[in-house]
Chain A
Amino acid sequence: MKPSSFVARHVATLPKSGIRDFFELVAKMKGQDVISLGVGEPDFVTPWHIRESAIYALERGKTYYTSNLGLIELRRAISKYVAHHFGIEYRPEDQVIVTVGVSEALDIAFRAFVNPGDKVMFHQPCYVSYHPSVTLVHGVGIAVPTYAKDNFALTAEALAAAWEPGCKILVLNLPCNPTGGTCSREQLEKIAAFCREKDLLVLSDEIYSELTFEGTHTSIASLPGMAERTVFLHGFSKAFAMTGWRIGYACGPSELIDAMMKVHQYAMMCASIIAQEAAIEALERGWDAVLKMRDQYHRRRDLVVRRFNEIGLTCHSPRGSFYAFPDITSTGLDEKSFPIELLQQQKVAVVPGTAFGDNGRGHVRACFATGYEQLIDACDRIERFVDTKARAAVR
């Protein structure tokens, strides 16, 4: 008898994250002055007033379960925040659910909406968990390619080309991890028209939306005819630097939220009350801190994108998120050998683009949520690495 024989087939065949392999490689070099641009979270600590409100909640003995949907005070704060920043009205009583991060919101959404065999579309390269999460609920993942020539925006044309009968859901993540791709309002309107035409449910992962550097972010849920077929997913991890708190939310038509709640109540009961209390403080008084952090990310983006292009690694300037996604093929290496050799020779970690799907080939993801000195040092090291490759090629 082998214990592995108890593992369900669909889990046993689930591929391990490409990130994990690279993580283990970097971990072996601990203590060797590695600059990691492979992180996926802010370098800022959660603003003190938010941490302090959580401590205060603990001191007041807030340690019990909350309603499955989350504290009503938090749902009211979410409703107000989303109305103010995104222009969409959701009733706190029955159109908002508080979850354990956007990750749980996505998970319960898939479990609530995907029948075995249903097809779920997602633009790629994308966050590592979308496709596996669809597989875990016995759905079929349909990747829609995005391209460097479009700065990795999702186009309605690519969506139409990838669509096939049986497609039920479209997952959007704009701004996108790992590409930094965003869509203009015009592009989103075309995507929305397609979704209405094909009767698709949209799960819109808005986690990087506050980190939009130029123009304003438009959520597809705010477009005419879309609120009734979109679940708006958001959280606090990136904008408020609350990754470890594991707190997020979903907003949508009450029938959809109710279905998600059914899964949530059995699987999770409720999100942590302390994280919920902190989230209230974040929404009510955290905006100044968000603006300060966004301003930092903006300048770091400008620095990194400029340096990459000067070095000869073509890189579009992401309109949002804190990831740059340069094309590294000018070095003659591919997206797997470039990070490995860069790590070994110059001790800088970036993530292979194919960890985020096949369309990431030829690219690497570099996170610029790191201090200026490390970013400058990392760019200097990458420049030296690229120079040695260029000189080797000439010989």
Chain B
Amino acid sequence: MNPVLKLLLEGGSLTTAQMAQVAGLSGADVEQHLEQLKTEKIFLGWRPVLDLSREAAAAAAVQAVIEVRITPERGGGFDRLAERISRFDEVQTCYLVSGGYDLLLIVRGATLQKVASFVSEKLSTVEGVLSTATHFMLRCYKDQGFLLESEEPKGTRLTVAP
């Protein structure tokens, strides 16, 4: 596996210089690996994992998980519709899933009304969408591997031990 990809997957916040040290590569090599990953569209972009619940200056945002049932299309299956739905700015995440519905969306909007409007005016009206079920997220406990409220305890190891 691309050594830089391995480090990216771990989710640490290493700088390129630190990645170079850990992987035993030059800084230029690390940059090149990153470029390669971008070219191959394996690496799509950076996004920090944030807990904004206590940040007063951050704009309030509402998130919802939406289950969408759609009609598969001849010759295209679910892909065309899924991509069309994914293009909406409000849609943060879109998965095709197995089970009782077809698409799992995570949708984000400034207010509950805005999310609700998006669902009723934009999403439900897309041809091929059979039904939606919207679940508003009330509280986040863990996001992409990061615990929000209760941190894993930091090491309180003996500084020198046999």
Residue from A17, A34, A127, A129 in contact with B159 in the complex, judged by beta carbons closer than 8 Å: A34
A43 touches B (CB below 8 Å) = yes
Question: How close is A20's CB to chain B, nearest CB, in angstroms?
Answer: 8
Question: How close is B149's CB to chain A, nearest CB, in angstroms?
Answer: 15
Residue from A177, A303, A307, A349 in contact with B162 in the complex, judged by beta carbons closer than 8 Å: A177
Which residues 88-108 in B have Cβ within 8 Å of A in the complex?
A: none
By beta carbon, the residue of chain B nearest A373 is: B18
By beta carbon, the residue of chain A nearest B161 is: A40
What separation, in Å, do the CA atoms of A177 and B153 have in the docked complex? 26
Q: Are A26 and B159 in contact (CB under 8 A)?
A: yes
Q: Are B22 and A349 in contact (CB under 8 A)?
A: no
Residue from A23, A45, A302 in contact with B24 in the complex, judged by beta carbons closer than 8 Å: A302
Question: How close is B142's CB to chain A, nearest CB, in angstroms?
Answer: 11
Residues from chain B with a CB closer than 8 A to the CB of A376 are: 18, 21-22
B74 touches A (CB below 8 Å) = no
Which residues 33-83 in A have Cβ within 8 Å of B in the complex?
A: 34, 36, 38-41, 43, 45
Q: Are B24 and A349 in contact (CB under 8 A)?
A: no
Residues from chain B with a CB closer than 8 A to the CB of A85 are: none
By beta carbon, the residue of chain B nearest A244 is: B157
Which residues 86-130 in A have Cβ within 8 Å of B in the complex?
A: 127-129
B152 touches A (CB below 8 Å) = yes
Question: How close is B94's CB to chain A, nearest CB, in angstroms?
Answer: 29
Question: How close is B155's CB to chain A, nearest CB, in angstroms?
Answer: 5
Residues from chain B with a CB closer than 8 A to the CB of A373 are: 14, 18
Question: How close is B23's CB to chain A, nearest CB, in angstroms?
Answer: 8
What separation, in Å, do the CA atoms of A132 and B161 have in the docked complex? 16
Give per-residue flags for A353-382: 1 if the beta carbon is below 8 A from chain B beta carbons, else 0.
Answer: 001000000000000000011001001000
A198 touches B (CB below 8 Å) = no
What separation, in Å, do the CA atoms of A10 and B24 have in the docked complex? 50
Question: How close is B145's CB to chain A, nearest CB, in angstroms?
Answer: 12
Q: Are A19 and B22 in contact (CB under 8 A)?
A: no
A43-B155, A372-B12 are contacts. A349–B21 as well, Cβ < 8 Å?
no
Beyond contacts A36-B159, A39-B161: 19 other A-B pairs, Cβ-Cβ < 8 A, are A19-B161, A19-B162, A38-B159, A39-B158, A40-B158, A40-B161, A41-B157, A43-B155, A43-B157, A45-B152, A45-B153, A129-B162, A177-B162, A302-B24, A349-B159, A349-B160, A355-B162, A373-B14, A376-B18
**8 closest Cβ pairs, A-B complex:** A38-B160, A40-B161, A23-B160, A36-B159, A128-B162, A26-B159, A39-B157, A19-B162
